[in-house]
Amino acid sequence: ALAGTTVTGITQGITMADQWRVTSNFTFSSSGADIASNLSRVNTSGQGTLGTGMTESSGIFTFPSTGIYKVESTLTFLVGTATAWIFSVIKATTDNSSYNNVAGTFTGHSSGYYLNSHTSTLVDVTDTSNVKVKFHLDTDQGSSTVHANSAINYSFFTFTRLGDT
């Protein structure tokens, strides 16, 4: 019934999808740490980005346009000694200043084991200058290591624009 009809102002499907990886191992302790360095957009052969993609500075991610975004954190850890739990957090701001925990995952095991955590949330980006996200880690005691690599997604973040806000 709509053959030959031109419709403007309607965007169908996902218009932005992007992944960033942690490129090298780092250790964090019970004092907590933002993931603020050694981040790179995925660039291994066969991987890609749809649309403009995110920008990143010191671990703070800026969205390319307004909309509803699915933000995901997938991290691999090597549990250190004396660690009972690891807390992976997605933090968001709506004023480009004060960050709140918007999603978190607890995971844990005895020392010497590899384990994964996956955390996700939806973020309503109403203003690209003020709405941003970052990723944070904490542990109950001791220290643990984020397992990372510059050529494969061991620890990475996925951003998908789902639609208009």
Q: Which residues pair with 160 in a beta bridge?
A: 17, 70
Helix then strand count (H, E) for the chain reads: 0, 13
pLDDT in tens, 70-118: 999 999 998 877 677 889 999 999 999 999 999 999 988 777 778 899 9
Q: Looking at residue 82, what is its pLDDT?
A: 66
Global pTM value: 0.90
- Binned at pLDDT 50, 70 and 90, residue 10 comes out as low
Distance of CA 11 to the CA centre of its chain: 25
